[in-house]
Each structure stands twice: as structure tokens, then as C-alpha cells.
Structure 1
Amino acid sequence: MAKAPEGPVPVVVMGLGFIGQEIARAAMSSPEVELIGAVDVQSGLVGRPLGDVLGGPAPRVKVSASLAQAVGRRKGVVVLHATGSRLPKVFDQVMEAVKLGLPVASTCEELAFPHLKYPELADELDQAAQKAGVAVVGTGVNPGFVLDRLVAVAGQVCGPVRRATVTRVVDARTRREALQRTVGAGLTEEEFFELVDSEQLGHVGLVESAALAALGLGLDCDDFEEEVAPVFAEEDISGGAFPVRKGRVAGMFQSVVGLEDGQERVRLELTIAVGADDPKDRIEIDADPKLVLEIPGGVAGDRATANALVNAAPRLTAAEAGLLTVLELPAGR
């Protein structure tokens, strides 16, 4: 692996939604990167000073409509990409950056392990990145850390792994309104499953995390089974962006099981619900020695995701060219 460059790495944030703005703020607070620009296609944002969009101090740049415009003549720029969760919808954006010779760290959940669902797109992107001599990675908190990378790191001190169980519980009241609605808070059971069936509800990336965790633990899972179910409010719940009445959906429970020859080897369980009890991240690895790690309260998703992208930028400039997973980046700084 090449040596990371000395001095701050110039970065451009692509996508100025909630997470994109968090990434921009995280970049401004990091001594390892320099925020030089931002890109968004929304007409209401293009041309506005970045500080106005963020509602606070920011570099004296305006939001650009194109990546090429934002980068200008600067060399060594890394793109911090945050525009969507589904790879087919953001593929052209990532490819645009690659063709400009720019490394990319993306929040796109399906980009964390794209070979699982989109092998042809993954191969195309990998070949383009190798040809351009740049690295591309999907990262964040989940996928990207709690349910996969942290599991793989923990497994480094274990003997052969028999089974791994990872649990993440999030009280959605501590998160933004958009996430509360994404997990179905306030819906009826019928409305919940209608949105699940149309892929408008649920956490994107859980199966990718399971595949990454299995890979990092040396497990050869040949099948993954995913389920989504509603979590119902047992009483009226307040304290979130909106009240949830008793009997309505408070959130969701989602699980993925990784199987090897029909035997369960990896289980990921994710609960995100308004009023969820005992928020935490917990990793249990059945091996010799057995290992149990728990983070009371859990890792805060939004800000931690922003930090994950910012901290990946200097690592990408020194990484091998191609489409990578977070398991191929240094565990530390």
C-alpha cells in the first residue's frame, strides 16, 4: 500500500441532503482533509454559498451543479458521495467521478458489497477504477462499521469461528424525522407491508453487512435470508418527531441470516423503533475464545457515518486502485 499524502487531502462533497451536510461539517473539523467544494443538482442549492446551505461557517465556495466544476484544476481530490442507497441509481454518479480520476468514498449502502446483488455493475466499476488508478469504497456505520468491519476486527483474536450474532438496537427518537418515517413509525400494519413490498421501507445494506462480516470472519456463506417485521407501540409514545399511537407501528425489526450448506453461520438483527428499549450494539462470536463486545447506547449513526467518509479519504489516496470494501482499508488512522 502506498503512503498517504502529507497535508490535508482536498475533498468535494457530492450531495447536500442531511447526511451530505453532516459530511461537510465533519470535513471542516478534520485536520486530515480540506473541503474545497460541494455538488448538488437541486436548482435551489446550485450557486448558493456553502455556508448558507449549512447554516454556519464554511469555506467561501458556492454549490456547483457538476463535479468537474467543483473540482476545477485541483489535484488529488477525493469525492465524498452521499446521494442514495441503491447502486443502480447512483452508479453513473460514481462512474463520473472515476472517469475524472477521482477516488470515491460513498454512503451508498449497496456499494459496500456490490458483488452480492450487482456483480456486473461491480465488475464494470472495478475495471474502470483500476484503469483510472483510483479506489472506490462504500462505507458508513451500517454497513461499513458496526455490523461488519468491527465484527471482522473482533474476529482477529479468535480461533475458527463457528457462528457470529450481531445485534443493533436504535431508539428512533434520537434520530431525524426522515429515519423515523423510513422505518414505518406511525403506520398501520397493512401500510407497513405495502411499503416493504415496494422497497420504500426498511434498512438498505443489511445483507451487504452480513456478507462482509462473513468474509471478514473467514466464513463461506452461500446463501442469505432476510426478513422485515413491524415493531408495534405497546402504548402511546411521544418524544419523537411526531407521536405514535398505541397499536400503530413504532418501527421495524430486520434480520439477515448467512447460511453455509444450510447451517446458520452469521445472524444480524437490527431494530430501529421509536421508544426501543436498551439501545446498543452487541457482537457475539462463538469461537475459541468466545468473544462478546457491547457498546451501550450504540454508535450514533449520522455523525459517525460522516466521520467514516471523512476518515476514509486519506486512506483512499494510498489504497490500491479498484472497487474495494472497508475490509481492505486500514483499521486505524
Structure 2
Amino acid sequence: MTADRPLRVVVWGTGGVGARAVAAVADRPDLELVGVWVHAADKDGRDAGELVGIGPIGVTATGDAEALVGLAPDCICYAASGPGLDAAAADDYERFLAAGIDVVTVTSAGLVFPPAYQPALRRRLEDAAAAGGATLYASGIEPGFAGDQFVLTLLTMSRRVESVRVQEIFGYHGYPVEFTMREVFGFGQPLDHTPLMATPGAQAGTWGPPVRMVAAAMGVELDEVRETYERAVTPRRLEVACGVIEAGTVGAVRFETIGVVGGRDAIVIEHVNRMAADVAPEWPTADRDGTYRVVVEGDPGMQAELTVGTPETFSDEGMVATTMRIVNAIPAVVDAEPGLVSSLDLPLTLPRHAF
């Protein structure tokens, strides 16, 4: 505990991460869940514990944002989700920070390394944090760990580094959010369709910050951050969580966000995502679905694989990991100096009362 009392926390949203955050905060003796924000009218006024499936906890969910800010919590655990939410989320962060409330968030991947965030929004948030004396921290499993903090931990064993590549090798057949799957990644679309991920700069906004974080921590000057994006069609009809992927449409995507040093690809975050395991077999694979692989070329050469859960549970347990990256950070963020911080600025955000 930072003080002689539990830290008072509001959870913002009850989607995949928010629901898990409600349960995690409610279970911790060093944290006190004092409020939960919901967007849907049919959730307003209901017990937050019942909403997330853990039974009544005596905290009523509300859509009244001002009332929650008025509670003056120590920290808001921000887990609102939805397409194009980043700008709206920044407005929320600005209001919270100016009110003196610390924020931990999974919503804005670009804030994993604040110096790489959109300059105009960053300045607004920095001003609000200074005015309110508050702190903001963004994290997750990737971005937020696999492509940055995990990589840097491995590099503490390096004498010389030629390159480092992080691969996410995941099947996306279990992801139900249709807009994200179809319009962002391009699954189920014909090859003449241009998804958001193929738009120049789209990847750099999400995976550029962890690439830049690794470069900054290593004292490396990047020439540029560039992107690649390619697709493969499925030869057969696939029925997946987001709907039907017809034969002849995109069934796998592969893209890279690349930090160039001295004219060569030096820091790379690569995603290989399929709707079925046998689509694009020529692309990188892993022994099991749901794998993060780090390959370091240098002295010594290293390869490490991170898997969460089992091949059947990795999607759900990966959500737990994502959630706990910010819930576990709450005490450290409350203790931190005001401003926008990254993992480089915090101690290890280890869980409390976990055993």
C-alpha cells in the first residue's frame, strides 16, 4: 500500500479487459473498487460484480462519468474499447489527469512509449498531468510487454546486437470483433480491398512506439520506422468467431513494423495472424498457437518463446495477462512522479497478494 489504506480505483469499461479488471481489483486487499463506468444503457445501475460474472460486490455501474471523477479515486483503470477510440480516450485522460487522478490504460497502444505518441495529444496530456500532479501509464501484453519490456530484459544478456525480431504467431479465429478483424486487419476481404492496416502509418502508430522504446533504451538512433503488409487468401470457406471467411478472400495477414539502424532492419515487430492454421504455410509458424518469439542475432544469439495458457485457452488467458499489466502497475503508478511514463520509468510491476 502506498498509504495506510487501500488505493481507490475506478474501472472504465466492462469489456474483455474491463471485466477482468473489475474482478482483479475487487479481489485485492490493497485496492478498493469504488466505481465502474459503463457505456451501454442496459448496464447502467446494475451491480458491477453481476455484470462481470463474479456475483454482487456492492458497487453500482454507471454511465455518469462526472460522478465517477467526483469520487476522486487514486487511479482510473481505463479499459474502454472500440474502433477509432484513441482520440476520445485522450480527451478522457486529459480530464482525469487535470483532476489529479492517475491513469493506467490498455486502450492507447501509442502511449506505451510516450515520446513516440502523437505530438499534439502528448503535449495536451503532459500539460494536464503537470496541472493535476498525476501520472499516466499504458501497457498490455503486446504492445506493452512482448515487443518491448520482454525484449529489453533479454538484451541485458547481450554483448553485441545485430538485430532483434519479435514475432506474434497467433490464430485470430477466436476473436469475435468483426470490425477489427475485417476492416482493420482485412480478413474476409478481397485482395483489392484496402484495410486500415495497409494504410501508411497505421502500424507505426501502434507498434512504432515499442520499436522506438527498445531503440531509446539501447541508445540507438533510428533512421526511420517502416512498414510491410501482405495477405494470403484461404482456399476454403472458414467459419470463425467474427463470421464467415469465404474461399478466395483474405485468410491470413503478415505485417512488420521495422526500426532501421544504419540502413538495415534492426528492431522488428512482426505479426503472423491466420484464421486457420493451414493458410499461408510458408510463413513463420510455431509449435503451438499463441506464441510470441524473440530472436536476437548477436553475441550471444538468443531465441525465446513466450506462450500464455494452452492452445485452447491462450486467447482468454492472454486477456488476463493484458489486464494484469495495468492492474499490477497501479501502486507503482500512484507512487510515480507526475507525467506520462513507460515501463522504463517504473520498477517491476509485480503482483501483490498473488499466491
Asked whether the 8 Å contact 1:37–1:71 carries over to 2, the reply is no
Q: Which residue does 2:320 correspond to in 1?
A: 303
- What letter is aligned with 1:18? G
State the partner residue of 1:82.
79
AA matched with 2:156: Q
- Structure 1 segment 96-107 matched on structure 2, within 5 A: 96-107=95-106
For the Cα contact (< 8 Å) 1:102–1:134, is it kept in 2? yes
Query: In the TM superposition, what whole-angstrom CA distance separates every residue of 1:269-299 from its partner, at most 9, and x where no partner exists?
Result: 0122212453311111223222221124687
Q: 1:285 aligns with which of 278, 296, 313?
A: 296
User: In the superposition, relative to structure 1, how do residues 332 and 105 fare at CA in structure 2: closer, same or farther (>3 Å)?
Assistant: closer
Q: Supply the distance in 2 between the matched residues of 1:101 and 1:208 (Cα, whole angstroms).
A: 26
RMSD of the alignment, in Å? 2.8
Report whether the alignment pairs 1:189 with 2:191.
Answer: yes
1:115-166 CA-partner distances (Å, limit 9, x unpaired): 3251232133123213322210111111111111111111122124321111
Q: 1:168 to 1:97 in 2, by over 3 A?
A: same
Matched with 1:112 is: 112
- Does structure 2 conserve the Cα–Cα contact (< 8 Å) formed by 1:219 and 1:265? no
- d(CA) in 2 for partners of 1:58 and 1:211? 43
Alignment of 1:137-156 (within 5 A): 137-156=137-156
Give me the whole-angstrom Cα distance separating, in 2, the residues matched to 1:112 and 1:48.
Answer: 33
CA-to-aligned-CA distance 1:155-185 (integer Å, 9 cap, x gap): 1221243211111111112434445445333
What is aligned with 2:330? 313
State the shift of 1:256 in Å. 0.7
Quote the offset at 1:57 in angstroms.
Answer: 1.4
Are the equivalent residues in 1 in contact too, given 2:110–2:207 (CA < 8 A)? no
Q: Say which SS state the counterpart of residue 59 (structure 2) adopts.
A: coil
| Secondary structure of 1:157's aligned partner | coil
Q: Percent identity?
A: 22
| SS across alignment from 1:131 | helix
Does the Cα contact within 8 Å between 1:180 and 1:251 map onto a contact in 2?
no
Deviation at 1:226, TM superposition (A): 1.5
Q: Report Cα offsets for 1:56-81 as digits up to 9, x if no partner.
A: 41421222234441254455x21011
List runs of 5+ in structure 1 lacking aligned partners.
Answer: none
- Written as runs of structure 1 = structure 2, the 5 A alignment for 1:1-333 is 4-5=2-3, 8-70=6-68, 72-73=70-71, 77-84=74-81, 87-107=86-106, 108-178=108-178, 180-181=181-182, 182-191=184-193, 193-196=194-197, 205-238=206-239, 240-276=241-277, 277-278=285-286, 279=289, 280-296=291-307, 300=315, 301-333=318-350
Mapped contact 2:162–2:266 kept (Cα < 8 A): yes
- CA gap of 1:224–1:47, structure 2 versus 1, over 3 A, is same
Does the aligned pair in 2 maintain the 1:315–1:329 contact within 8 Å? yes
Aligned-pair CA distance for 1:249: 1.2
Count residues with an aligned counterpart: 328
One-letter code aligned to 1:306: T
Secondary structure, aligned partner of 2:164: strand
**Residue identity matched to 1:186:** G
Residue pair 2:185, 2:196 contacting (<8 A) in 1 also = no
Task: Identify the structure with bigger relative contact order (alpha carbons < 8 Å, sequence gap 6+).
Answer: 1
Amino acid at match of 1:170: F
Tell me if structure 2 keeps the 8 A contact 1:221–1:260.
yes
Determine if contact 1:183/1:273 at 8 Å carries over to the other structure.
no
Question: For the structure 1 residues 221 and 5, does the alpha-carbon distance in structure 2 shift closer, same or farther, using more than 3 Å as the test?
Answer: farther
User: Shift in Å at residue 105 of structure 1?
Assistant: 0.6
